[in-house]
Amino acid sequence: MTQQQCLIRIQSAYPHLSEKEKRIADYILNDPEETVHSSINQVSARIKVADATVFRFCRRLEFKGFQEMKIVLAADIAKSRHLEQEKVRFDGDEEMLLADHVFRDNIRTLENTFQILNSDHFKQAVKILSGARRIAFFGSSGSAMMAQEAHRKFVRAGMMTFAPSDNEFQMLSASQLGERDAAVFISYSASDKHLLQVARTAKSKMSPTIGLTGFMKSALSDLMDVSLHTVSVSADYRSESYVARAAQLTLIDALFVNVMRRVRKDRHNEQERVVLQS
């Protein structure tokens, strides 16, 4: 895992934090500079929580402690200042300024997603997909299009895949999965009740499950054997989940390229083995 940003970790985990943890998160998000220049005792006193609660909050975000979180937060602040300076490039040109926002939001979304990409989880997902007899892609709401795109990409490469879109057919498809199959669940919000039910059905059939979600901690992530996460930047003119689709597509591409490389390598090794035995 590469060095992760602090603010995107907080934003990703926020919906699933406890009330006390949300108070800590709000404090940091509202005044990151004051947080950087404060001790853990000062922060806990201002928020009126125990020092141990702040420490556990840092650990929940996968930092070693408060000091490491402050170091990464300071880097976030420096990067934010740089982005603010970049905004003056198209001052007075509304069309180009808006276009600049769109491109920069997508670029930052991709950068942020890569920074929180867990290498062990990613490699495990590649291994599962490479060895699967069939791959089922499930998506909810806007992510249903991402599931269809993933299906088209993998099936064109000769893999047996499907992406049912109808709710009833999704449940039926999940009930017919087996240990040699794989199920991929794509949902930015990770809170769709129907998708959770489909995931539980796939799990009951002992099918390996992979989740592509927008939150590190969620009900869907907890069900998955492997969880990969995307993050996005907030945008006034587009919904956050819409911005996140760029990251979903790129993460699917990264999985696809690695799976194809592994499958071709395995096939080549098998052909060599057959030649040697003959």
pLDDT in tens, 240-257: 566 778 889 999 999 999
75-117: per-residue pLDDT in tens? 888 877 655 555 555 566 778 878 887 888 888 888 888 888 8
Residues 82 and 155 in one domain: no
Residues 82 and 165 in one domain: no
Give the chain's residues under pLDDT 50: 1-3
Q: The sheet that has 182-187: what strands, in order across it? A: 161-162, 135-139, 182-187, 209-213, 226-229
Angstrom distance (rounded) from CA 210 to CA 256? 14
Residue 131 domain-assigned?
yes
> How long a stretch of residues is the chain?
278
Residues 162 and 233 in one domain: yes
Residue 130 domain-assigned?
yes
Residue 253 domain-assigned?
yes
Residue 123 domain-assigned?
yes
Residues 139 and 216 in one domain: yes
Residue whose pair of structure tokens reads 């269809």 in the numeric block: 148
The boundaries of the domain holding residue 39 are: 6-90
Residue 102 domain-assigned?
no
Angstrom distance (rounded) from CA 249 to CA 241? 13
Angstrom distance (rounded) from CA 15 to CA 217? 8
pLDDT of 156 reads 85
Angstrom distance (rounded) from CA 23 to CA 50? 12
Name the domain count of the chain: 2
Residues 226 and 174 in one domain: yes
Residue 1 domain-assigned?
no
Of 140, 79, 109, which is closest to residue 249 (Cα–Cα)? 109
Angstrom distance (rounded) from CA 171 to CA 150? 19
Which CATH number covers residue 198?
Answer: 3.40.50.10490
Residue 227 domain-assigned?
yes
Angstrom distance (rounded) from CA 62 to CA 117? 13
pLDDT of 190 reads 75
Residues 139 and 261 in one domain: yes
Residues 28 and 159 in one domain: no
Residue 107 domain-assigned?
no
pLDDT of 4 reads 57
Residues 139 and 248 in one domain: yes
Residues 247 and 157 in one domain: yes
pLDDT of 90 reads 57
